[in-house]
Amino acid sequence: MSSSQGNAGQPGALRAVSESATRPAAVGSDAVGSDAAFGVSIRSIDRDFPGERGAPRRVLRDITIDVTPGEVLAILGTSGCGKSTLLRLAGGLDTATAGSILIDGSPVTPFDARTAVGFQEPRLLPWRSVTQNVALGLPRGTPKAEGDARVATLIDLVGLGAFAGNRPREISGGMAQRTSLARALARNPGVLLLDEPFGALDALTRLKMQDLLLDVHAAAPTTVLLVTHDVDEALQLADRIILLGREDGLEGSTIIQEIVVPGRRPRDRGSAELAELRGRLLAGLGIDRHGEARGVEKTTAMPAFPY
């Protein structure tokens, strides 16, 4: 399913993509992320896994989408629909059964160095300090002076300057997740792959981490693919959202909804327009919305940027 194709005849599908949508520009050499953000092109991806008695079990089917440089794309879907599988394919951590993925115009390679991954758990080394954990993300061969400066800049960016010498047991869960984010950014990735990065945090810390990610992206706007179960998180962070799910009679998840999120970040969490989109996405996840957002007319197309 291509992001440029119409889908009026497909059950439950909403394709509200604007060709004129504004996207963040790649950063310059004086920014925290000195390398340009990379575009990602996903073409006709299928992924099968062995099923019962050796018969293949299709998890992803015909996934096609282009992610522009500097864009934040959120990937939503129910548990087991293949969100994390798609993320692993984009990072070269898995191999597709069919189709192709290009980063900056060239095929993804195993453990692709143009990408970095942020996981739900911080996965910090307990015997290393915050600074030492962040430094693990530096590319091999980085000169020491350059690496030290980059690590210090990233630690300040995520607000941990006063805790740079602390070990993981001496900082909170939110601080540990900030350290993990800084470590991923230390690689200077053209594409940042985030797999439920705030899922293990409490609600308040999660909101603060969402705001932090917006600040980090504003300072170093790399391309971001964000897997999340949280509809509100997707609406706050993403330029665009895709919803993975199954179509009647077909095996494997594909893109069943795609929307461009209106308004520039940071967005008003109480926006009626976002409430309408939230209802549509929840309905796509099989959750009853229990009524309509007041004063917001249902539409099948979103206006183009700027609003």
For the chain, give the mean pLDDT.
83
pLDDT at position 291 is: 54
Domain membership flag for residue 85: yes
Low-confidence ranges of the chain (pLDDT < 70): 1-35, 289-307
In sequence order, the 6+-apart residues with CB closer than 8 A to the CB of 195 are 84, 87, 117, 118, 119, 120, 227
Domain membership flag for residue 302: no
195 neighbors 120 (Cβ within 8 angstroms): yes
pLDDT at position 129 is: 97
Domain membership flag for residue 90: yes
Domain membership flag for residue 106: yes
Q: How far apart are CA 175 and CA 159, in angstroms?
A: 9
| Structure tokens, 90 | 């984009």
Closest listed residue to residue 297, CA positions, set 277, 270, 269, 282 = 277
Model's pTM, two decimal places? 0.80
Closest listed residue to residue 86, CA positions, set 104, 118, 63, 55 = 63
Domain membership flag for residue 14: no
How many domains would you assign to the chain? 1
Here the CATH number for the domain that contains residue 282 is 3.40.50.300
| Structure tokens, 30 | 């004086």
Parallel/antiparallel/unpaired status of strands 40-50 and 98-103: antiparallel
| Structure tokens, 261 | 């999120």
- CA pseudo-torsion sign 73, 77, 79, 82: negative
Domain membership flag for residue 104: yes
Q: Identify the domain containing residue 68 by its residue range.
A: 36-114+225-286
Q: What DSSP state is assigned to residue 21? A: -
Q: How far apart are CA 159 and CA 243, in angstroms?
A: 32
Angle at 159 between CA 23 and CA 161, to 5 degrees: 135
Beta bridge partners of 15: 258
Domain membership flag for residue 276: yes
Domain membership flag for residue 42: yes
Beta bridge partners of 56: 50
